[in-house]
Structure 1
């Protein structure tokens, strides 16, 4: 190489520095007895071992060769990958305190700067989680009052579907409106019309992972140990909107798409709705225990959709002795939920949509420890009970009123994901909502 060229010299020096940093970091983490994994290239790490379009599948595949606990390198940074039900249960539930910290992925840190209940760790996270849970409960999560809000919103959703007059449409936007309105009713005390300009602006901000509107919050500047400052409370509110809108509406999209592809499953739900609820009243959460098939279908939608396949990033909270290895404090940890939700050892037909995964031989609903769409342990989704209520009430209300038919041939509906990053995103299709 001609080093007389200053640009080439600078580039060469930069590469040397990166290489030295990589070697030092590798030597440092090797002192921690990280688990073995695929051989990594200097600087690039295991880039060529991971399919960027479906990274979770690559990680599950690597676990078949390197075991349920192994190390991959993202550039110069190591990550410990956890696969399989037993491993993830041990790490997140039995040893939850050790793995409860949140790794500051650049994409998350850029959006949150470490503020808010999702991105924070340590004492900040503990305070914000306690505050969020108590606030959600005070505003009705898990109570009759929030059920009534969801029932009312479901009727607005039915009205919006009827306005399509059975012509083809993509239901995604309307379902995002409905899901977001539940969070609006909790945070702002009221819902918005689906055409409201401010509401549309809010939805756009949520979709862009941007700012949200927020009313005034209490500050505790006098308490140096308190995490109730403006940035934390604003970001926590934003977290509620992002999680409460996108996850619920995306799961409903998966459900409509799957039911349109499999009309015999949709028909069984219609029959159960007619037998238990009828057409003269709204579905209630009490109906769920009397509707095992519908409950099984909703659970199977969540299992099959595998919405957050690699979980949100975890981090070792301290130096951890785990299964014969020493994971240093601050190490990136990836509990691959997909390895549980799609495990052949846990499910009879892991790659197929089959509600029988949640039904016993008598047709009664049966749950499974391996059902982890909300994650598990201390970092389990704090809005789980709200999401479960929304999914049941929204879906049963829609199916009480409509039959969903696809515009294209059913066999051409692709129920695999079109994008697989932090979220599994389904393909986009139009459907006809035919009144029953």
Structure 2
């Protein structure tokens, strides 16, 4: 749950939506303080037709808390979203204190808003993450930076990470980690008391993903796939879990409670453990680079070496960016793999098609290269379809800073709109909240997964 919590840092307007795991297509926008748009800001040509946020149905704070904590939707927020859409329609307001959010429940409304987006994204209040960085003098990264600064930062970070032609260079590193994962899976099956089964595959994929992204970012192995995880690595994993588990209560509780309740101290301690671990690895790399420079040796290496020696990023910017990339790279990988395996296990025909393609491109015991993967359109289609049905990041945020905007016939002034996108695709089947169970039409899911995957592969 790292990435979707990180996306908006538990904002005070509907911040609990960040925890959703299964939801209908939903987008939220936010305005601060319930500001009303002056009448004279509406376009004069169609003033009688255009409505404002005041015309939308509203869910009050007490209703939100009642449904979450009394009716038990706190752990079933995906069902709550379905329920509220049935009650209020494709667009409605939600209030929490002086902050409010607007939910857009259709693909058309989402498209309309995204097409009217601005060049440099502004996600708004990221103070839950930035205040720790400000406290410790650490730079902002791709999650916490905003606007044009975010754009310039991503331009630097993308060059050796996001572009496909650049990511090819990490093929050997990834293959080494994959080989160790396979060895670990065989080991777990041998010692399994349940009979040749890996009882917690999700945990193993998480450890694999953390080992893989660490190998790329820090250019070193951290031991996640060893039989006994090193103490420092386990402390780091525990710190990530601690930071995220306390994010929601910290965001929801008033600041005056921080000196009374231990929640905030636990939250900060999580960040301390995260930056202590990543900072140590970064410092080790900086020392290695400096030794090479002092002895007139060529500075070689991959991603971290590139950031430290070939860019204009300051050391504090590197600390912030690399740590946030680390958090971003774990759940995005492990969750996608888990859902893809889940779907393939349910649909043997798709699994067999994929097996045939991989066996043809990588015969025998050959280790696949990046070039081999490029010859596997069905594999790519499976991953894309899994992401479409079960997106890793359930929401994204935007504030319209430069221009007023009209969405769904409703006018919103600039510096007031905030967007959250809640997943997944609404066409995978009818989803109903009934007896605390989300019922999905299996046949329709099967039809969409197999047919869409086949079409994508073509």
**Do they fold alike, i.e. is TM over 0.5?**
yes
Distance 1:120 1:63, change over 3 A: farther
CA shift for structure 1 position 241:
0.9
Q: 1:58 to 1:99 in 2, by over 3 A?
A: farther
- Please tell me whether residue 180 in structure 1 is matched to residue 210 in structure 2: yes
Per the normalisation by structure 1, the TM-score is 0.62
Is the contact made by 2:428 and 2:448 (CA closer than 8 Å) also made in structure 1?
A: no
What CA distance in whole angstroms lies between the structure 1 residues aligned with 2:149 and 2:424? 29
Find out whether 1:365 has 2:457 as its counterpart.
Answer: yes
Deviation digits for residues 378-425 of structure 1, max 9, x if unmatched? Answer: xxxxxxxxxxxxxxxxxxxxxxxxxxxxxxxxxxxxxxxxxxxxxxxx
Cα deviation for residue 47 of structure 1 reads 4.6
Aligned to 1:104: 125
Check if 1:133 corresponds to 2:158: yes
CA shift, 1:329, in A, is 0.5
Q: Deviations over 1:197-251 (max 9, x none)?
A: 4333333333334323222479xxxxxxxx9555543232121111101221122
Q: Is 2:405 the counterpart of 1:313?
A: no
Instruction: State yes or no: 1:157 paired with 2:181.
Output: yes
Contact between 1:59 and 1:81, CA under 8 Å: does it hold in 2? no
Match of 1:322 among 391, 400, 406: 406
Alpha-carbon distance in structure 2 between the residues aligned to 1:240 and 1:115:
11
Cα separation, partners in 2 of 1:68 and 1:105, compared to 1, 3 Å = farther
Q: Match for residue 376 of structure 2?
A: 291
Does the C-alpha gap of structure 1 residues 190 and 331 become closer, same or farther in structure 2, counting only changes over 3 Å?
Answer: same
1:186 Cα deviation after fit: 2.7
The aligned residue for residue 119 of structure 1 is: 144
Are the counterparts in 2 of residues 99 and 316 from structure 1 also a CA contact under 8 Å? no
Structure whose residues are more often helix by fraction: 2
Alignment of 1:51-90 (within 5 A): 51-59=73-81, 62-63=84-85, 68-90=90-112
Instruction: Give, in angstroms, the shift of residue 99 of structure 1.
Output: 8.0
Q: Distance in 2 between matches of 1:47 and 1:35?
A: 22
C-alpha displacement of 1:101: 0.9
Q: Does 1:303 align with 2:311?
A: no
Structure 1 residue aligned with 2:451:
356
Q: Is the 8 A contact 1:72 1:78 kept in 2?
A: yes
Cα deviation, residue 74, structure 1: 3.0
Q: How many residues align?
A: 326
Q: Which residue of 1 aligns with 2:36?
A: 29
Paired with 1:168 and 1:117, the residues of 2 have a C-alpha distance of 39
Unaligned runs of 5+ in 2: 1-31, 42-51, 191-195, 244-270, 291-311, 431-440
Tell me, which stretches of 5 or more residues in structure 1 are unaligned? 1-23, 219-226, 367-436
What displacement does 1:118 show?
Answer: 0.7
TM-score by length of 2: 0.59
Equivalent pair of 1:70/1:81 in contact (CA under 8 Å): yes
Residues 276, 291 of structure 1: 8 Å contact kept: yes
Per mean C-alpha deviation after superposition, the further-off stretch among 287-296 and 181-190 is 287-296
